[in-house]
């Protein structure tokens, strides 16, 4: 008799292969695929995902999970986690009827085309019926999955397992109350100059500079690579093949540079997973929020810090002397930390970013609850932008139509961006305790201890622990906004030489 746990792993491994193959095809689609390949590629990815799904939701796998659970040696925490996580995925996947999966997939395909056109034409009405349909299907999905509190719980759970809508709201609401006056106070300050960021920067030279930094971080180019795509992303084909993408703006250096550091943070997480988890459902980051905590930690807490640039500014001057000769560390540090309420989420600074997220969370939660109607979105969007950030988009293209997520049917995804920001500071506080001379290490361009700590406490576990449990294990606390607020207040009151509320 084969060990049922081994048998389970043998059944799951090729399913993981199929899912990773779909990731390879998606990566190629975004990086190298010629336009002509689009139609066939969409079908191929759909076939891979469907095949993986069909192999996963069989009765046989359910029975095998039962046998594996019975055979479990209580001492093996890794196998226990494998069974627990797989059971969770399995139960969830079985609850969603195939007809709903295909209705959602079809509606998303149509919605994405409609969204692209609607955004280009600034025509929300053209997108509204598609969004309406996606909301209805998501509600149907939430009902199929089930929830304790409200239907949004079931959707959020896909991206941030272990968190409820109420958990999120209980953190976001007081945070917003504290944050709006801070943003308000900073918006009154004169903007630090950043004209030196707007020279011409050769994209290949930008890429070389960024790759040097992320190599120093510990991103392993023997087990990954960086390519260019319209929207930066990170994807994993195995623990030993984790790919980053980025894009470069020839006339604005921070765009490509910080996107490289950000994606490298995601990449370091995926490259740091315990090789023993390879080819199992545990071999990925545990939640989108935890993933974002890693990308934001490297991008902001490391990459927008003064010690970091005390090390790298000389190299940047060597790479781009025309732009940076004579630019002081202080001027550079201020330029990369400009706070300016703005319309577009992906271009937002670290202070205002969370408000963009809260706005989206509130609207999509309302859509799913039925307290917000699709037709009201544009007006609500403008009202909340005004209330939270003091700026109002003149067009829906710069407002409610700016993000791709809803057109992809992804409702419940947005909050994870802000959760990641909050967690990143909770983790960094812990890191500072563990590594008292962290700033000095960063100022030496030495990230070995930092990465080692993240690997030891976060990365290696993959999905073995849900994000809230992992955060609690590492910090002793549940999700908190206070550390992040303290970090923001400390950093920006010093940087702007202003007292913040």
Q: Which of 447, 52, 456, 468 is nearest to 213 (CA)?
A: 447
Q: Which of 6, 10, 40, 276 binds its own copies (CB under 8 A)?
A: 40
Rg of the chain (C-alpha set) = 23
**Residue from 161, 192, 224, 285 binding its own copies (CB under 8 A):** 224
Is residue 228 part of the contact set for its own copies (CB under 8 A)?
no
Q: How far apart are the first and last CA of the chain?
A: 67
At 29, list the tokens.
């689609």
User: Of the candidates 30, 140, 178, 240, which one interacts with its own copies according to CB under 8 A?
Assistant: 240
Write the DSSP string, 133-202.
HHHHHHHHHHHHH--SS-HHHHHHHHHSTT--HHHHHHHHHHHHHHHHHHHHHHHTSPPPP-GGGGS---
Work out how close the CB of 229 gets to its own copies at its nearest, in angstroms, rounded to a whole number: 13
Q: Of 16, 211, 263, 270, which is the active-site residue? A: 263
Q: Which of 5, 11, 12, 20 binds its own copies (CB under 8 A)?
A: 20
Q: Which is nearer to its own copies, 237 or 353 (CB)?
A: 237
Note if 250 is an active site residue: no
Cβ neighbors of 73 (< 8 A, separation 6 or more) are 79
How many other CB atoms are there within 10 angstroms of residue 420's CB atom?
24
Q: Is 32 in the site for its own copies (CB under 8 A)?
A: yes
For residue 435, CA distances in Å to 32, 290, 453, 479 come to 42, 21, 9, 22
Residues 268-297 that bind its own copies (CB under 8 A): 278-279
Task: Tell me if 314 sits within 8 A of 281, measured CB to CB.
Answer: no
CB of 53 to its own copies, least distance (A): 13
What's the min distance (Å) between Cβ of 273 and its own copies? Answer: 13
Q: Which residue lies nearer to its own copies by CB, 241 or 439?
A: 241
485 touches its own copies (CB under 8 A) = no
CA distance 144 to 137: 10
109 scored as a contact of its own copies (CB under 8 A): no
* Beta bridge partner(s), residue 243: 225, 235
14 forms part of the interface with its own copies (CB under 8 A): yes
What is the per-residue binding string for its own copies in 416-445, x denoting contact by CB under 8 A?
------------------------------
Least distance between its own copies and beta carbon 23 (Å) = 10
Single out the segment in contact with its own copies by CB under 8 A; choices: 1-9, 14-22, 381-389, 431-439: 14-22
Q: Which helix (H) or strand (E) holds 228?
A: strand 224-228
Binding site for its own copies (CB under 8 A): 13-14, 17-18, 20-22, 24-25, 28, 32-37, 39-41, 43-44, 47-48, 50-51, 220-225, 227, 237-241, 278-279
- Catalytically active residues are 263
């Amino acid at each position: 008799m084969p060990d049922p746990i081994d048998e389970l792993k043998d059944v799951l491994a090729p399913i993981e292969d199929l899912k990773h193959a779909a990731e390879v095809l998606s990566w190629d689609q975004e990086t190298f695929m010629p336009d002509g390949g689009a139609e066939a590629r969409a079908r191929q990815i759909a076939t891979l995902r469907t095949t993986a799904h069909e192999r996963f939701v069989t009765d046989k796998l359910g029975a095998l999970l039962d046998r594996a659970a019975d055979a479990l040696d209580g001492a093996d925490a890794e196998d226990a986690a494998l069974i627990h996580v797989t059971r969770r995925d399995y139960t969830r996947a079985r609850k969603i009827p195939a007809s709903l999966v295909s209705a959602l997939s079809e509606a998303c395909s149509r919605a994405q085309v409609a969204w692209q056109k609607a955004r280009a034409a600034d025509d929300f009405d053209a997108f509204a019926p598609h969004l309406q349909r996606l909301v209805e299907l998501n509600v149907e999905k939430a009902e199929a999955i089930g929830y304790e509190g409200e239907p949004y719980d079931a959707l959020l759970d896909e991206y941030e397992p272990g968190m409820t809508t109420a958990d999120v709201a209980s953190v976001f609401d007081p945070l917003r109350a504290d944050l709006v006056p801070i943003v308000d106070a900073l918006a009154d300050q004169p903007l630090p100059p950043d004209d030196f960021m707007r020279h011409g920067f050769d994209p290949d030279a930008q890429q070389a500079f960024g790759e040097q930094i992320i190599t120093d971080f510990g991103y392993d180019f023997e087990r990954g690579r960086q390519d260019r795509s319209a929207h930066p992303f990170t994807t994993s084909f195995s623990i030993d093949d984790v790919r980053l993408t980025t894009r470069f703006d020839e006339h604005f250096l921070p765009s490509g540079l910080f996107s490289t550091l950000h994606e490298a943070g995601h990449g370091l997480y995926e490259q740091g997973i315990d090789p023993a988890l390879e080819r199992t459902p545990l071999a990925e980051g545990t939640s989108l929020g935890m993933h974002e905590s890693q990308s934001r930690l490297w991008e902001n807490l490391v990459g927008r810090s003064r010690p970091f640039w005390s090390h790298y500014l000389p190299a940047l001057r060597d790479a781009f002397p025309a732009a940076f000769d004579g630019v002081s560390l202080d001027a550079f540090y201020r330029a990369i930390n400009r706070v300016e309420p703005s319309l577009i989420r992906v271009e937002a600074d670290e202070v205002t970013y969370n408000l963009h997220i809260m706005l989206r969370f509130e609207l999509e939660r309302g859509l799913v609850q039925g307290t917000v109607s699709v037709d009201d979105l544009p007006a609500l969007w403008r009202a909340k932008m005004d209330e939270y950030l003091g700026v109002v988009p003149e067009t829906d293209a710069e407002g409610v139509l700016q993000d791709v997520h809803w057109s992809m049917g992804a409702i419940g995804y947005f909050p994870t961006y802000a959760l990641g920001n909050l967690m990143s500071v909770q983790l960094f506080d812990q890191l500072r305790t563990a590594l008292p001379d962290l700033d000095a290490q960063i100022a030496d361009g030495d990230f070995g201890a930092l990465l080692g700590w993240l690997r030891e406490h976060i990365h290696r576990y993959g999905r073995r622990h849900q994000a809230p449990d992992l955060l609690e294990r590492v910090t002793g606390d549940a999700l908190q906004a206070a550390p992040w607020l303290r970090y923001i207040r400390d950093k920006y009151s010093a940087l702007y030489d202003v007292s913040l509320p």
